[in-house]
Amino acid sequence: MSIFSLVPYRNSGVSNYFDEMEKMMGNAFRPVFGSGFRTDISDKGDHYLLEAELPGFAKENIHLNIEGDLLTITAKREENKEDKDKQYVRRERSFASYERSFDISEVKAEEIAANYANGVLEMTLPKKSPATPVSRRIEIQ
């Protein structure tokens, strides 16, 4: 009897290798930063209301930047914890960085207002007035 007969056959591959590593190491190989943050945008008539979920971020670590017709929300967090227990010290670190961009070509950028409370960033984005078509007569010469 060989050792191979005792091991059940599994589809080998890179993903299985990392699945096994994750089982052995816990969550050490999972990404900390995730894929983004949830954002809801609702139409309130004369403005849009943007609500972004950013729990655990300090207000000073959230940055709003407008470049041309692009609004970018960036949030960063770095956390260090130390737990001392009996004869060892355990230190955990986490880092999170999120960034999302939005087209604000239909918004009055100079009138945007923002508020952050209870982990939710709320932004009021006033709409631009619809352009009225200009009509004029052209003289034939």
pLDDT reported for residue 97: 86
Tens of pLDDT, residue by residue over 52-82, are 999 989 999 999 999 999 999 999 988 766 6
Q: How confident is the model at residue 7 (pLDDT cuts 50, 70, 90)?
A: very low
DSSP type of residue 51: E
* For range 93-107, the mean pLDDT: 86
Q: What global pTM score does this model have? A: 0.62
pLDDT reported for residue 91: 58
Architecture of domain 32-126: Sandwich (2.60)
pLDDT reported for residue 20: 53
Residue 15 has pLDDT above 70, yes or no: no
Instruction: Give the three-class secondary structure for 116.
Output: strand
pLDDT reported for residue 133: 83
pLDDT reported for residue 87: 63
Instruction: Give the three-class secondary structure for 18.
Output: helix
Tens of pLDDT, residue by residue over 27-56, are 333 333 334 789 999 999 999 999 999 998
The DSSP line for 57-114 is --GGGEEEEEETTEEEEEEEEEEEEEEEETTEEEEEEEEEEEEEEEE-TTB-GGG-EE
Q: How confident is the model at residue 90 (pLDDT cuts 50, 70, 90)?
A: low
Q: Which residue has the higher pLDDT, 127 or 31?
A: 127
Q: Which residues pair with 100 in a beta bridge?
A: 73
